[in-house]
Amino acid sequence: MNAPEATLEGGARNRPAHKDTIMRTLSFRLMGVVALLATAAGCSDTPTNPSEESVELAVAFEEMAATANREGDAEGAASLSAGSIALRMGARPTDIEVVIDGESIRHHALVAAVSRTVDGQTRLLQTLFAWTGARRPTTVLEVGILGEEGTFDPTATADPSGRARGVYRNLVDRFRWIAASGTAAIGVIGTGEACGRPLSENPNISCVKARFNVHVDGLFRERVLGSDQPASDVAHRIFTEAEGVNGVVVGPAGT
């Protein structure tokens, strides 16, 4: 798989304070949704039966979520927790190609879509997870959108549904890149059977397996932990485009 010619411009920008407030509010609300799902998934003696590999991956996602939470990244913690729930509810990862700095690398991938109410409207916070490694991820690409498409440039729009979040984590060499510019799109193309137990039997929650089309084309920069400031001037281009990526759609019953 060859990526198209780069058309992006690098350059990290400081995020305005009011946008930070919006994103923190959305993150905390999402944490509440994920906590509800996690409680529902853990309250049954007969949970779904994912593979042993999926269980190990789910635990790894939960550990990454705990680390993100300790670092003050509530948004990342919530997203990674949603990825864990998708694995525990029986979503089987799809193999996709991710092009990083011109090198095409096979990744496992899934999408977790969680229904949200924002400004009185129901929207899906859709997050793509793509990782290398089998039972324990060695790298993880996380791209989230509160809608179907958005920009990684935090200064481009005040509408949270028009912004995308992109994080690339190398868990072996212990570094992290944050998307500074570019675009992403994630869309549901079909839904199928109900998720595994116990969510499938919870009258308050709707959870179905689904397939998604995904597109990511962004410039990522290494960040100083806890800051929007780049750690260097080096930008890394990450590109992927895939159809039919497996995942789940989760929300309140009736949505």
Interval 61-81 mean pLDDT: 90
Interval 224-249 mean pLDDT: 84
pLDDT greater at residue 118 or residue 242:
242
The SS3 call for residue 162 is helix
Q: Which of 73-87, 88-102, 134-148, 228-242 has the weakest average pLDDT?
A: 228-242
Could you read off the pLDDT of 177-210 as tens digits, one per residue?
999 999 999 999 999 998 876 666 778 888 999 9
- Nearby residues of 87 by Cβ (< 8 Å), 6 or more positions away: 50, 54, 55, 57, 58, 61, 93, 110
CB 70 within 8 A of CB 161: no
Rounded to two decimals, the pTM is: 0.79
